[in-house]
Amino acid sequence: MSDAPLLRTPLYESHVALGGKVIPFAGWEMPVQYTGIVQEHHAVRKAAGVFDISHMGQFIVSGSDALAFLNRALTNDVAKLEIGQGQYSLLLNDAGGVIAASFPQVARDSRDGALAHHTASKPARDTVPIIRYESR
């Protein structure tokens, strides 16, 4: 464990004010639940849930080969997404194995580009395969 102080998202005070149970997560203070698992499950199924992604890293991939590049690195066909759509996906290693849930969302934001979010736990680890894909 690191002795570094935990980071807080811009929504930290709101999480606390709403009764969020805050725990350490990958160097951040993040809420794990508010009222209870069953009640929150029902709330999400009946209405909606909100997830604070401000602790997550982002990759912006652009250019004429952006979608082809992402399709080599990810499990889903990003080119099938309409502009503005997002999709959960996984980042693959050279052998086709999954590198955790490194890219939980890819949002197509233009004809030749996309924004990819990755988990906060190991963003540097996730960057290395991307650089290797790009260099091919």
Q: What is the predicted pLDDT for the residue at 39?
A: 94
Strand stretches in the chain, DSSP E: 7-8, 21-25, 28-33, 57-62, 86-87, 105-110, 113-118
Site of tokens 């540097």: 124
In this prediction, residues 98-111 reach a mean pLDDT of: 64
Dump pLDDT digits (tens) for 67-79.
888 888 888 888 8
In this prediction, residues 36-48 reach a mean pLDDT of: 94
**pTM of structure:** 0.63
The domain limits of the chain are 7-46, 57-134
* 57-134 under CATH 3.30.70.1400, yes or no: yes
pLDDT above 70 covers what percent of the chain?
75
